[in-house]
Amino acid sequence: MRVPCGFQSKKPGRVLKLIRSLYGAKDAPKLWADLLFNTLRKEGYTQSKCDLCLWYKKDIFLILYVDDCGISYKSEDLVDDLIASLIKRGFKLTKEGTFAEFLGIQYSTTDDGNIHLTQQGLIGKILDAMDMKDCKSNRLPAACKALGMDTDGIPFDGPWSYPSVVGMLFYLSTNTRPDIAFAVSQIARFTHSPKQSHAVAVKTLVRYLKGTIAKGTIVRKPSSMKLETFCDADFCSLYHHDPDDSVSSAKSRSGYVIKLAGCPLIWKSQLMQSIALSTAEAEYYSLSLAMRALLLIRALLLEMTSNIRMPPDLVVSPDQFMATVHEDNTAALSLAVNQRVTSRTRHYDVRRHFFWAAIQDSQVEVVYVDTLRQEADYLTKGMPVEGFERIRVLVQGW
């Protein structure tokens, strides 16, 4: 903080010291979180052990994102009491009403009682940023051929910002559009030095979004609290696409999707940091990555269901709440289930086996799934239209 004009100080070179938070200061987010969290504790709310932004009290849940709050409740009186209490403590807030939109995600209820999650506003913003509102649409977000470095390609110097567009696409892909997660992961590799070929890949993705702007993810009414995970890998996915002398050309791609009651909760498409020496190793590493996310989700769901009254047909207990992982590689499946290290698997990182205890304790079971029913397939590679749309229906419902 500089001394403001007109302020007279007896000693030159003096500055002002902040005694309260200022927007934009490095420690402002931490101070804001401390203030809000301490206030919720005083109001009798409990912070989740699995997600620090999830708070709950009897029959009411709060999910926080900086200064936005989504609330799930049994009685609206609970919300009114919370708002009144926060106002008394000096907070300024507004009640938006129904959960029609939160953090740019639109929630619309269909005639059959399902909920459709979309982000039409963000897609429109992307189309505006690239001046592609009138472009022709296509049916695929990415080419079947992997997107490489294109070392000798022409640098991109277009009228739109590559990093800005990729940032918006990334937010879209992680919230409502698992169908573009693979394509976004590919183009995000080249944010700092994009080539013309990478810009073409971005346009291909945006044309796909133009044709599916009103689509997203459909959340159906649950018939059970079944927790499922699908994981897959593409061995040496960049071989001959990146330069052969680069480390990335030997890397495999991992993809997984975790679903609750048939609805996708989280999904991921990423290049593995470690280099796998075989398809089986790549598949097993992908399984291990999926397990990290799955065990945390399972713990979070058990924490939530133990603190709210569930309908009788949806009541679960730790013994009943077994998560199922679907694996289409028999070698990776055998190693996970039988837990026998052989001369062919002895070199695997020990940390990859961390989930064995969860299998032994019957928290998780790993089962075989046919490749055609592998719902993580479109998170690891570009696919033909028929296969891509088949997987999209299984995951997103359309």
Choosing from 150, 179, 211, the residue where a domain stops is: 211
Per-residue pLDDT at 120: 96
State the Cα–Cα distance between residues 98 and 107, nearest whole angstrom. 10
Assigned domain for 152 exists: yes
Assigned domain for 50 exists: yes
Choosing from 211, 241, 260, the residue where a domain stops is: 211
Mean confidence (pLDDT) of the chain: 92
Based on the fold, state whether residues 90 and 159 are members of the same structural domain.
no
- Please, which pLDDT band fits residue 94 given cuts at 50, 70 and 90? confident
Q: What is the mean pLDDT of residues 370-379?
A: 96
Based on the fold, state whether residues 195 and 278 are members of the same structural domain.
no
CATH number at residue 80: 3.30.310
Could you tell me whether strands 54-57 and 253-260 are parallel, antiparallel, or unpaired per DSSP bridges? unpaired
Based on the fold, state whether residues 260 and 344 are members of the same structural domain.
yes
Choosing from 52, 68, 97, the residue where a domain stops is: 97
- Please, which pLDDT band fits residue 313 given cuts at 50, 70 and 90? low
Model confidence over 340-363: pLDDT tens digits? 899 889 999 999 999 999 999 999
Per-residue pLDDT at 310: 61
Model confidence over 8-27: pLDDT tens digits? 777 777 777 778 888 888 88
Assigned domain for 349 exists: yes
Assigned domain for 21 exists: no
Based on the fold, state whether residues 239 and 354 are members of the same structural domain.
yes
Per-residue pLDDT at 321: 74
Per-residue pLDDT at 318: 59
Based on the fold, state whether residues 91 and 156 are members of the same structural domain.
no
> Phi/psi of residue 336, each to 5°?
-70, -40
Model confidence over 260-302: pLDDT tens digits? 989 999 999 999 999 999 999 999 999 999 999 999 999 998 8
pLDDT over 80 at 335, yes or no:
yes
Min mean pLDDT across 10-24, 122-136, 331-345 is at 10-24
Copy the structure tokens of residue 79. 């919300």
CA 54 to chain centroid, in Å, comes to 16
Based on the fold, state whether residues 280 and 375 are members of the same structural domain.
yes
Assigned domain for 16 exists: no
The larger pLDDT score, comparing residue 319 to residue 45, is at: 45
Per-residue pLDDT at 320: 60
Based on the fold, state whether residues 203 and 352 are members of the same structural domain.
no
Based on the fold, state whether residues 200 and 229 are members of the same structural domain.
no
Assigned domain for 112 exists: no
**pTM confidence score:** 0.90
- What lies within 8 Å, CB to CB, of 158 at 6+ separation is 199
Based on the fold, state whether residues 204 and 235 are members of the same structural domain.
no
Based on the fold, state whether residues 182 and 47 are members of the same structural domain.
no
Assigned domain for 154 exists: yes
Domain that holds residue 84: 28-97
Per-residue pLDDT at 74: 85
Per-residue pLDDT at 11: 77
State the total domains in the chain. Answer: 3
Based on the fold, state whether residues 230 and 205 are members of the same structural domain.
no
The larger pLDDT score, comparing residue 101 to residue 183, is at: 183
The residues with which 388 forms a beta bridge, in sequence order, are none
Q: What is the mean pLDDT of residues 198-216?
A: 97
Based on the fold, state whether residues 234 and 339 are members of the same structural domain.
yes
Assigned domain for 153 exists: yes
